[in-house]
Amino acid sequence: MAQNKWILDVLSDLNAFAAANGLSALAEQLDDTRLIAAAEIASLNDEARAPANGNGIQFEPNPGGFGKHQHA
């Protein structure tokens, strides 16, 4: 579901704004929220790739940098 990935950019922008303006607790919360959103998007992608009969499910690594933290 590539159309859902825009939300990760929005959360990153909000995180950067919060960190730059001394809102450290909000920045931490937004970082956690971005991780949750990335996991849910990845889950949706995995479901979309799963075969209809449920056999042969393969999970692929996420090259998009999931799990990276950026702190200002």
**Residue 33 counted as domain residue:** yes
54 has a pLDDT exceeding 70: no
**Residue 17 counted as domain residue:** yes
**Residue 56 counted as domain residue:** no
**Residue 8 counted as domain residue:** yes
Number of domains in the chain: 1
**Residue 13 counted as domain residue:** yes
Domain of residue 32, residue span? 2-49
Q: Where are the alpha helices (DSSP H) in 1-72?
A: 6-20, 24-49
Beta carbons of 26 and 52 less than 8 angstroms apart? no
Average pLDDT, the chain: 82
Q: Residues of the chain with pLDDT > 90: what percent?
A: 53
Place of tokens 């956690």: 32
What are the tens digits of pLDDT across the range 3-35? 888 999 999 999 999 999 999 999 999 999 999
- Answering whether pTM is above 0.85, one says no
pLDDT category at 46 given cuts 50, 70, 90 is confident
